[in-house]
Structure 1
Amino acid sequence: MREANRIVSVILDKLGEAVEPGVSTMRFEQIARDMCKEFDVTPAFLGYNGFPFALCCSVNEEVVHGFPSDRILREGDLVSLDMGVIYDGFYGDSARTFEVGEVSPEASLLCDVTRESLMKGIAQAVEGKFLYDISRAIQEYVEQNGFSVVKRFVGHGIGRQLHEKPAVPNYVPIAGRSLPLKNGMVLAIEPMACVGTAEVEILEDKWTAATKDRKLSAHFEHTVALTPNGPEILSRNEQ
């Protein structure tokens, strides 16, 4: 799983280098597919429940599951890229939101807060804590900074399948204790935050989820292993 996620991180690094005004979002799909061939890995999302691309590419008000297309990025846009691969039977999964050129202070703050909420959630991923400790840390940080947390989509366990139990919500759905966290668990933690409402709707393509008020959204995700030495972020290119 370390290698699967390292590869995902390398792909996202390369995609980030290609983000600039004037680029078609389909260019990112081409890069992702080319790099999967280079690494001899299978794109995890391509064909998953019928999803037609290797990459989820969501722009501005699109929260998640957006399609790469001939859409041209413009100065001030936000583009969220979610990538997964299968390596030797194991899955890697990670997402980042990139700023396109100079963005508004509000857009920049949204990205910073969403990214930091992920890190605060990861810090709670230790044995002896509970699943909703992760959820609470994310929700509190996002809301303290004036943004809202998407509830319709959640993180997940990951391993030999892309989506495994448990679901990892970015909010606390019920009061009280939740699933105890144990070393050896691997979780894909992925907060999605919005400037306005966290309510989303699915667009005509049956996949893309957009904010109902069409205000900006950001999405960051890491695959994290719980170890005796604390949480280990697998989806980083540090090897």
Structure 2
Amino acid sequence: MLQKQRKLILNDQQRDAMRRAGRVNASLMDYIRPHITAGITTGRIDEMIAQWTLDNGHTAATLGYQNFPKSCCTSVNEVICHGIPGDEELKEGDIVNIDVTTIVDGWHGDQSETFLIGEVSEERKAVTQCAFDCMHLAIDALTPGCTVSKIGETIVPEAHRRGFSVVREYVGHGLGKQFHLDPSIPHFPNRQSRIDRLFPGMCFTVEPMINAGTRYARCDKADGWTVRTKDGRPSAQFEHTVMMTEDGPEILTQCNDGPRKGHQF
């Protein structure tokens, strides 16, 4: 296992390449941010993301990935993840997660944010706040060489304290020249995450999916991608690409205009 993980450890030049990919991806999120408003369709969001990516000479990682048909994921209300952009129009009171991954000179930057459309219900606001806070609490808990389980050991008690649940079927992942690498990054502690460690030079995502109700999910059999909460209650997610350094975790996808640690929705 340790030998397998050491292959993921980046040298200084590779670390800088990942930093650039993260900055580009964050710029894309800042670009689309003002357009996430009532009245826009998720398909139009995808079109704008696809055009920006092409105009800047990069590649949308999701487009064609395992036959996914679009350049981003748009997950509205009870959709946990992998929502396919289409004709759905955002309306007042919705929450929507926008997940974008950009390939920059062969390296991946990956992040997502949940946006509140106008005035939303207290439940939708609270679950969004919980997902955001859990992501940052987990990142802050990491230290060089710590076990991956530190992430789940931080997120689960906080989510449960607020009356919410943590999705287990979908997890974070290592990241680099490939979209999904070892180690798996579950947002709950399990046997493997208590073995795997995060050494300096490793890049990975922290992306907790928090449900207002049950943690259980169901995948839409019609499209094979869209994942919804089993009870139809809302779900929220935030994601950053993180690089472990000798001094601790470094967030690679922090936006200039987006929410930062401590933000209150």
Fold equivalence (TM over 0.5): yes
Matched, 1:205 2:194: no
Residues 1:103 and 2:120 are matched in the alignment = yes
**1:37 partnered with 2:81:** no
Instruction: Please give the secondary structure, in 1, of the residue aligned with 2:20.
Output: helix
**Does the residue aligned with 1:5 lie in a helix, a strand or coil?**
helix
1:47 matched to which residue of 2? 64
For the pair 1:66 / 2:83, whether they are aligned, the reply is: yes
Structure 1: distance between partners of 2:241 and 2:247: 16
Other-structure match for 1:93:
110
**Given the alignment of the two structures, is residue 151 of structure 1 paired with residue 168 of structure 2, yes or no?**
yes
Percent identical: 37
Distance 1:214 1:55 in 2: 23
2:5 corresponding residue in structure 1: none
Equivalent residues of 1:148, 1:193 under 8 A apart? yes
- Structure 2 residue aligned with 1:224: 242
The corresponding residue for 1:235 is 253
Q: Is the 8 A contact 1:63 1:209 kept in 2?
A: yes
The aligned residue for residue 14 of structure 1 is: 31
Where does the alignment leave 5 or more consecutive residues of structure 2 unmatched? Answer: 1-17, 257-265
Partner of 2:259: none
Shift of 1:55: 0.5
Coordinate RMSD, CA, aligned? 1.4
Cα distance in 1 between the residues matched to 2:146 and 2:137: 14
Helix, strand or coil at the partner of 1:96? strand
- For the residue of structure 1 that corresponds to 2:250, the secondary structure is strand
Q: Could you say what secondary structure the match of 2:187 adopts?
A: coil
Q: Does 1:139 align with 2:156?
A: yes
Question: Does structure 2 retain, via aligned residues, the 8 Å contact 1:222–1:233?
Answer: yes
Q: Secondary structure at the match of 1:52?
A: coil
The C-alpha deviation readout for 1:127-161, integer Å capped at 9, x for no partner, is: 14211011211112111111000000000000010
- Is this contact kept in 2: 1:67–1:208, CA < 8 A? yes
Q: Give the match's secondary structure for 1:26.
A: helix
Which sits farther off after the overlay, 26-35 or 158-167? 26-35
Q: Find the counterpart in structure 2 of residue 215 from structure 1.
A: 233
Q: Which moved more, 1:167-176 or 1:94-103?
A: 167-176
